[in-house]
A = this chain, B = another copy of it.
Amino acid sequence: MRDILPGEYRRRQYLTERFRGVYERYGFEPIDTPALERLDVLLGKGGEDNEKLIFKVQKRGASLERSLEERGELCDAGLRFDLTVPLARYYAEHRAELPRVFRRYHIAPVWRADRPARGRFREFYQCDVDILGTDSVAGEIEVIFATADALRAVGFTSFVVRLNDRRLLRSLLEAAGVPEALQQDAVVTLDKMDKVGVEGVAAELGQRGLPARAIELLSGLDVAGVVSASPAEGLERLRQELERLQADSGGASSAEAEAALSDLGTIVRNTSEANEGLDIVIDPLLARGMGYYTGPIFEIASEGVPFSLGGGGRFDGLIGRFGKENVKAVGFSIGFERVLTVMTERNMFPGDLGGLDAYVTVFEPTERVAAQKLARELRAAGLRTLVPVTSGGLKGQLKEANDRGARVALIVGPTEREQGVVQMKQMETGQAELVARAELTQRVVALVRGTG
Contact = CB atoms under 8 A, between A and B. Distances in A.
A72 interface: no
Residue from A1, A149, A404 with most neighbouring chain B CB atoms (10 Å): A1
Interface stretch (A92-100, A171-179, A308-316, A334-342): A92-100
A31 B12 CA distance: 10
A252 interface: no
A104 B35 CA distance: 24
A50 interface: no
B3 A31 contact: yes
Nearest to A104: B6
A275 B404 contact: no
B136 A389 contact: yes
Contact of A379 (B149, B270, B403): B149
Contacts of A387: 27, 138, 142
Given A27-B404, A384-B25, A390-B134, A36 B3 contact: no
B29 A55 contact: no
A13 interface: yes
A155 to B, nearest CB: 16
B30 A58 contact: no
A266 B369 CA distance: 9
B57 A56 contact: yes
Contact of A36 (B9, B26, B123, B382): B123
A2 B34 contact: yes
B30 A123 contact: no
A43 interface: no
A32 B34 CA distance: 18
A269 B366 CA distance: 11
A10 interface: yes
A24 B379 CA distance: 9
Contacts of A266: 365, 368
Interface string A98-140: 1101001000010101000000001100000001001010110
A202 B26 CA distance: 65
In the complex this chain forms, how many copies of it are found?
2
A273 B369 contact: yes
A4 interface: yes
A389 B373 CA distance: 54
A363 interface: no
B386 A34 contact: no
Interface string A375-396: 0100100111111111100000
B142 A383 contact: no
Contacts of A168: none
A55 B76 CA distance: 12
Nearest to A139: B389
Contacts of A404: 27, 99
A57 B55 contact: yes
Given A57-B58, A138-B387, A25 B382 contact: yes
A398 B142 CA distance: 20
B101 A389 contact: yes
Contact of A26 (B94, B98, B379, B400): B379
Contacts of A400: 99, 101
A163 interface: no
Given A9-B32, A372-B274, A24 B389 contact: no
A201 interface: no
A141 B58 contact: no
B93 A373 contact: no
A32 B3 contact: yes
Q: Which 6 A-B pairs have the closest CB atoms?
A: A27-B386, A1-B34, A6-B29, A274-B372, A4-B32, A138-B389
Interface of A: 1-6, 9-10, 12-13, 22, 24-27, 29-36, 55-58, 60, 74-75, 77, 79, 90, 93-94, 97-99, 101, 104, 109, 111, 113, 122-123, 131, 134, 136, 138-139, 141-142, 145, 149, 266, 269-270, 273-275, 354, 356, 362, 365, 368-369, 372-373, 376, 379, 382-391, 400, 403-404
Given A27-B385, A35-B35, A138-B362, 9 more contacts: A3-B34, A5-B98, A6-B104, A57-B79, A134-B389, A136-B390, A138-B388, A142-B387, A149-B379
5 contacts: A1-B36, A5-B94, A25-B383, A35-B111, A134-B390
